[in-house]
Structures are given as structure tokens and as C-alpha cells.
A = this chain, B = another copy of it.
Amino acid sequence: MKAKQALAFLSLFVLQVPAPMVGFGQPQHLSDYIRPFVGTQGEGNTYPGPSAPFGMIQLGPDTDRDLWDTASGYEYSDTSIMGFTLTHLTGTGIPDLGDFLFMPQLGEPKLVVGTKENPDAGYRARYSHDQESASVGYYKVKLLNNNVTVELTAGERAGMMRFTFPQSDSASIMTDLQHFLSGKRFKLIWSHVRVEDKATITGFHLVNGWAKERYLYFAARYSRPFDHYRIMSNGQEVKYDSYKTYRFRSRNEAAGTNLQFLAEYKTRPNEAILVKVAVSAVSAANALQNLDSEIQPQDWDFEKVVRSTRDKWDRELARIEVEGSQWDKETFYTGMYHAFLAPNLYEDVTGEYRGLDSNIHQAKGFKNYAVFSLWDTFRATHPLFALIQSQRDSDMINSLLAHYDQSADHLLPLWSLQGNETWCMIGYHAVPVIVDGYLKGVKGFDKQRAYQAIKTTAMNPDYDGVTAYARLGWVPCDQENESVSKTLEYAFDDYCVAQMAKALGKSDDYTYFRGRAGSYKNVFDPSTSQVRGRDAQGNWRTPFDPHFYGEGTTGDFTEGTPTQYSFYNPQDVPAMIALMGGKEKFVKQLDALFDYKEPLKPGVAEDI
């Protein structure tokens, strides 16, 4: 039975009961198979909050902002929540985003977050997984210290929060502009908050994070005008008191590095106050426009946003039908969900976005995407997109090319993050993404322009030893770190350049890059039957340990060992088998890789 038939069959049963918000019953929708908590414990670094497919906004709870092991902000084993922020990365190894924290409070609002050990020292709130749930487009948690229920949903560029308060004379919703996922070493550079009217604020911060210069604006509209409001700066209310000081004159806006906004209310029992939010990398005005164009100013229908996002996911997941058990389908569609969370839409409803050059650009003829973790995604994710997301693949390729046009270094993205190049990981893997799309027939981008970009990137004179690699045939290990991994991955990327050169009839280029694509042999040491660091004079790295795990500034390998990387020559497996001495020896060596049990020997951690 195909998945579609199965669902039709199942629907006979589930149609008789209300559609489950959190669907552990029989699914009515494919998206009910999504389990947002998958990957939130350990280093999966996913987030449980709502997000539209490839959406620009990802509302969610943050439990930690300092740890690299909690790069998405949420760690399932944490027992308290710092607050609810508007943006999140999924699955990365380094934290960033987590912009603009919202937190409901009762009593005199706390302005500092507190600690996991002592959440009551700040606005951090205890919670229990028993009173927490997440399903497609929806997240809910009850904060145990004040009995406020928080619900979140998200559309493409705008989201909604519903705070259900107990009766209180001193309820508040705080926005902390200082918060972001800092990984301890990153820094908030500046922020600004502004009261637009009695139920609307906008704000901004500039973050020197993993993305070294990231501008983000937000807009928030409240379902009820503030009874009272305050802007706090460094713990003090921002107000004009001329009798004491001239320091501040406006109570309606402030700039600085430690700002909170407090929307204050007297609430009835179980009163729900909703906050609609949107972001923009361009301006506060654009954030407001993103918000109002997606959720009309008078529209406060929380469930409508949930349904709309669920429908979007149903359409995306319907691209593949699978058979199997409930567990199989949950596994599959949750994986598909994770595959379709990023890259993220990165343009306003106006088509504007802040580019790599910090200028505001207009995406013409395509939708601009950001957050390209290419070293992670060139192998499988983008080839999948080329097959079943060809319009988005085309948009993404155009986004890569726009980045190239904006690059002071004349490079396609390596690991790009919202108008920034993080320079993370190795290779120039935008090349296989583009070439794969082109060869699979993805339309909507200029092939000659694309070829120019991939060739120029592969010939960059400054980037990561490419010049020496082009000259010698390998990246010399005495000049460049992770030299063997770079050699092998450049060679694969060059194979891709060659394929596109061939398809475009550029035979000289084909010959040249086909030559570079054969570089595997140059770092393969027959005496050990392993790939091995090699210096500019051609000498092998000595001593040599086939299980030394390379990472960072001293190793010859990138998050791997010689034993593992010896099997990296996907563009010419027969040549690799031949170098290893034929099929039998190859199989034996491959078995040895899988059978290897010793602990890895760590290299030096990457210094971002």
C-alpha cells in the first residue's frame, strides 16, 4: 500500500475525531508525522519550535545561549527556559541567531536571565516536558514559576505568540534585545528599540557572532494596547527626568547594548495576550511590512497561522510517498522536515535583502535564500532539492550567484549566514550544488554566469591554498592546514567544474579541471595505502598515524582521519580501487575502516 492509499484508509478513522493538535493518534495529515523534538537532545542541535518550510522566522524556546552543543538554543535535558526567540539555526555545530527574546512575567519584571542552577535569580522559567508539546507549526509550554502558558506558531516571515496569563495586576511581556545565541565568544554590538504606537514596537540589533556583522530588525504588534510600558537600559528605566539628568529624553526609544522593552498589563484570569512578530535584515519598516502583509493588522487568529503552516508542510511532504509503520513514517517525514527547514528564505516581502556587501539588494527573478551550510549539504541535501525542489534549487543557485556578485573576494559561498561568510569548513562546494542542478535540468539561472562564478571560485588566488594545489597537484601540508581533506574535496569540486565545462563545450577548461580532479593520487601514499599529508617538496607527513583525527590548525584532515578520507574520491572510484591494489584489497581496507574500534585522537579545535 502506497502512503497516499494508506492515508486515505487511515482517514476513515481519524476523520471521526477532532484533528489532533499534537498528533500522536492516527495522522490526518502527513505533517502529523513530524516529531519536532527529534534531535533536540545531545548534539542534534535541532529546535522544537514552529517554522514554515525554508521559512525566514523560527520561533522557539531557548534553554541555553552559551554552549556550542546547544547551537539551536534548545537542549531537551535542560529544565528551564530563558525565553522565546524569533530565529534559530537547525543542526549546526556553532550557535548564532536566537534573536529577540520574549518572556512573560508576573510581578516586577526581572531583566537578567538567571542560571540553570538558580533560574529564579532571573527571568528564566522552570518547565516540564509533561506540560510541553510540539507539532507541525505549533509549540506550547506552561511556565511553572508563573503559570503562564506560552504558545508559538510561525509562518514564512511572521509568527505569533499567545501568552495566557493568570489574573494579575502586574503581568508583563519582556523583550530582551541583548539576547542571542552567543556561544560565549560572540558579542552584541548595538541595539535599538522603539515604541511605534501603544501596541507596536520595533527593534534592531547588530551582532558580531558567527556571522561577523549581522543586522536584524523586528516588529511586534500586541493584541492589547499596553496598560503601561517601559524601556530599560542597563537596568534603569529610560525616561526624561530633567531635574536629575539629561541622559535620556525619550521614553519611546533607546539605543545601547543592554535594552529590554516591557509591555505591562493588568490581566483577567486566563487572559490571552497575543504578540505578532516579524523580522527583516533590511529595516524596521520592512519588518513591519513583512508582518502586516502576512498577518493582516486586524487578524489575531492564531490557529489560522498554525493551519496555514501545516498545509504548507503537507504540500512539501507529499512530494514523497512512503510505505511503512507509523514509526517508519515518523522517522522519514521528520527527516524530510529537517531537510526542508534550511536554507532559509532571506528576503523581505518587498524582495529586498541585506547582501554580503551590507548593501540592500533587490532579488529580481528569484527568491533569495541564506544559511548555506554547504560542506554539510552538497553531498545529499542539494542533490535531493534538484530532484524534488527544483524551483527552490533554482532560487538557491541564484542566491549563491548573487552572493558571488557581492563578494569582495570573488568567491561563491562557503558557509554563508544571512549576508555574511563564516568561512567555516573547507572546499568550494557551491560548485557541485550549481553543477548538479544544471546537469539535472534545474532551470531559471544563467548558465554562462554560473559557469563564470564556479570557475573563478575554483581559481581564487587567495583562498585556502588553491593556488599551490593548482600548481603542485596537492595542497602542501607545510603551508596549509587540513591539506589532505582540502586536496580531496577540491578535486571533487573540480570534477564538477569539468562536467559543466564539458556540457558548455569549453574543452580546454574541461581538460584542465579534469586534470585537477585526479589529484587523489597525489596524496595517496602507496606505502601505507592511505591518503597522507605531503609538503611542498613532495615529502610525506612523518610521523604518520592513520587514525589521527584532524580538525583545526594543525591536522591534515577535516573532522576525520586518514583512514576515513582514504575513501574520498567519489568522482573516480575505479581509480581509487586500483590505487589500493584491486577490489579484494579495497574491500579488506574498507572493512578495516568499519571495524576500527580505537578512540579517535583529537586534533586542535577550530578557532572561529
Contact = CB atoms under 8 A, between A and B. Distances in A.
Interface in A270-315: 283-285
A388 interface: no
A36 B196 CA distance: 44
Interface stretch (A72-80, A239-247, A340-348, A587-595): A239-247
A210 to B, nearest CB: 12
A22 interface: no
Interface in A467-496: 479-482
Nearest to A195: B408
A359 B240 contact: no
Interface in A230-268: 240, 242-247, 249-253, 255
A190 interface: yes
Nearest to A247: B607
Contacts of A244: 553
Contacts of A360: 283, 285, 360
A336 interface: no
B255 A606 contact: no
Nearest to A424: B246
Contacts of A359: 283-285
Interface residues of A, number: 48
Contact of A284 (B204, B253, B357): B357
A250 B409 contact: yes
Given A204-B358, A283-B358, A358-B204, A242 B212 contact: no
Contact of A190 (B195, B213, B284, B464): B213
Contact of A481 (B204, B213, B242, B283): B242
A465 B358 contact: no
A480 B245 CA distance: 10
B553 A255 contact: no
A47 B496 CA distance: 60
A235 B328 CA distance: 57
Contacts of A157: none
B249 A423 contact: yes
A250 B408 contact: yes
Contact of A408 (B190, B213, B243, B252): B252
Contact of A246 (B189, B190, B245, B553): B553
A116 B252 CA distance: 42
A607 B247 CA distance: 7
A213 B196 contact: no
Contact of A243 (B252, B285, B481): B481
Contact of A194 (B284, B408, B606): B408
B212 A255 contact: yes
21 contacts: A189-B206, A204-B358, A208-B255, A212-B255, A242-B480, A243-B479, A245-B553, A246-B553, A246-B607, A249-B463, A250-B409, A250-B421, A250-B423, A250-B462, A252-B408, A253-B408, A283-B359, A283-B360, A284-B358, A285-B357, A360-B360
Given A206-B206, A253-B409, A284-B359, 7 more contacts: A192-B358, A240-B464, A242-B480, A245-B607, A246-B606, A250-B408, A250-B421
A-B pairs with the 9 shortest C-beta distances?
A252-B408, A249-B423, A285-B359, A213-B255, A253-B408, A283-B359, A246-B607, A189-B190, A242-B481
